[in-house]
Structure 1
Amino acid sequence: MSVESLLIPDDRAFSSFKEECGSEEGWSLTYNKTDMTVWTQTIGGDEEKSLHKIKCRMVCKDVPAETMYDVLHDIEYRRKWDANVIETFDIGKLTVNADVGYYSWKCPKPLRNRDVITLRSWLPTGSDYIIMNYSVKHAKYPPKKDMVRAVSIQTGYLIQSHGPNHCTLTYLAHVDPKGSLPKWVVNKSSHFMAPKAMKKISKACLKYGEWKQRHNPGFKPWLYPEQTTLPTIPVSELSIQHADSLENIDESTLSEMQTREERDSD
């Protein structure tokens, strides 16, 4: 297998991702309310130490699939609606539908904030749209001292159109946040944080049309690759980011009460 085929997802990878988004086999239902469903899956036998996968599906009856796709791509708009973002930027492009980018986000105190470098790829297929990523290493963007470098094993979105203003968004995440996190963090992410984040995306979609009209309305390089100004990155500059090569920060003893106290004192 060549380096290129190893790194850049092909049609089979997109098809496999879509299939997993739709499958419920091996998943445990953890949240089910109006228009929102969450499943989790434990990878490995030790519930305390194993990684978890999370899948969150939201039905949006007032958002076109095309708008959802634009919102998830538009990095400038993300800085406006995503309150958790610390810094996000594109590093360079690989192909017309693959690039490399940086994203850092706030974690609830006293947990340390996280960041990630990912290879992101996307594919519109008729009425479906897929965006997915996984972690890579780039020599110019090493881990920072004040952040924990997380690892996306595979994370992404599947948007499915059900009519002019009706779509379903499925978020699938297999992430190693690094650090031995307290169990309450894992539980909270599936019961509270994931649904809340999805609802923020839905609300952001409702305001996107008006915002985009005032901010370079014709600029959508994810639809029109000839518009991109990103430098091309040689694949040889990248390698897969493996979790075991990063420092492991033990945050397992941090209590939820500590987190609330820290937050209240800000």
Structure 2
Amino acid sequence: MEKADGFSEEEFRKACAELEGPAPAGGGWESLVESEGFNLYRQPDEQTGLYEYKAFGDFKDCPPTLCADVYMDLEYRKQWDSYVKELYETNINGKMVVYWEVKYPFPMYNRDYVYIRDRRDLDLNGRTVHVMLAKSISVPEIPEKDGIIRVSDYRQSLMIESDGKNGCKVSMFYHDNPGGMIPSWLINWAAKNGVPNFLSDILKACKNYHKKI
């Protein structure tokens, strides 16, 4: 059964299954970055020549509910994400739609995203997990802007659960095709650095969230 936001129960369950544990050896996934408490994997997307990414990290002293709340708080993200140029959520025909413009370095054009998202707290084999899904959509109410490239292929899923102590385990899937004339090697380099930086930034944001409230 699909909800009005566009995500079905099956999609949430599938996201959980895909994010359970580290990426398997083989199967097209390869290790890209390994650091303390963090691992990033990728596999090629044959259609675009780009990659899909899976990231797994441990956030010490950050409760899972807090981490999920911070991720969903778009107003707060404007404060901690320096790449945000414009970000808001609006109701279009009964569906909550997010508009997000991302700053790109000169001389490249900024990119923008139009997407839907949802969060569900699920019971997964006796464990409570917070699952967030997002995917790009096209709505005539938010047309493309001159000088900004619209990203029409964007997908992200995030699963957060307790680490059994005072922190949480974070698993993330990410894919987008930024379009334009950016070389694929540059896009992949940006993802290699951008995904770890994003997780690092959201951890810092979690620690400062109490100051915002």
**Structure 2 length-normalised TM:** 0.87
Distance 1:108 1:55 in 2: 25
Aligned: 1:198 with 2:195 = no
Matched-pair identity in %: 25
**Contact 1:58 1:170 survives alignment (8 Å):** yes
DSSP-derived class of the 2:138 partner: strand
Tell me: CA distance 1:183–1:20, structure 2 relative to 1, closer, same or farther (3 Å).
Answer: same
**Contact 2:5 2:118 survives alignment (8 Å):** no
Distance 1:93 1:69 in 2: 24
Count of aligned pairs: 205
Query: Post-superposition shift, 1:116?
Result: 0.7
Aligned: 1:124 with 2:121 = yes
Tell me: CA distance 1:156–1:108, structure 2 relative to 1, closer, same or farther (3 Å).
Answer: farther
- Measured against aligned partners, the alpha-carbon deviations of 1:145-173 in whole angstroms (never above 9, x if no partner) come to 12100124421211121235211112211
Distance 2:46 2:163 in 1: 36
Distance 2:140 2:92 in 1: 16
Which has a greater percent of helix?
1
Distance 1:170 1:90 in 2: 24
| Structure 1 gap ranges (5+) | 213-266
DSSP-derived class of the 1:32 partner: strand
Q: Name the counterpart of 1:80.
A: 79
Distance 1:138 1:208 in 2: 32
Which has a greater percent of strand?
2
**Structure 1 length-normalised TM:** 0.71
**Contact 2:44 2:50 survives alignment (8 Å):** yes
- Measured against aligned partners, the alpha-carbon deviations of 1:7-65 in whole angstroms (never above 9, x if no partner) come to 721111011112222343421111011011111111117xxx51321122211111000
How do 1:131-150 and structure 2 match up within 5 A? 131-150=132-151
**Contact 1:58 1:169 survives alignment (8 Å):** yes
Tell me: CA distance 1:118–1:125, structure 2 relative to 1, closer, same or farther (3 Å).
Answer: same
**Contact 1:94 1:100 survives alignment (8 Å):** no
Q: Name the counterpart of 1:208.
A: 209
Q: Name the counterpart of 1:102.
A: 99
Q: Name the counterpart of 1:111.
A: 108
Aligned: 1:90 with 2:89 = yes
Tell me: CA distance 1:63–1:7, structure 2 relative to 1, closer, same or farther (3 Å).
Answer: closer
DSSP-derived class of the 1:138 partner: coil
1:130 aligned partner, one-letter code: V
| Structure 2 gap ranges (5+) | none
Tell me: CA distance 1:150–1:39, structure 2 relative to 1, closer, same or farther (3 Å).
Answer: same
1:106 aligned partner, one-letter code: K
2:32 aligned partner, one-letter code: T
Distance 1:200 1:153 in 2: 20
2:68 aligned partner, one-letter code: Y
- Measured against aligned partners, the alpha-carbon deviations of 1:207-237 in whole angstroms (never above 9, x if no partner) come to 001211xxxxxxxxxxxxxxxxxxxxxxxxx
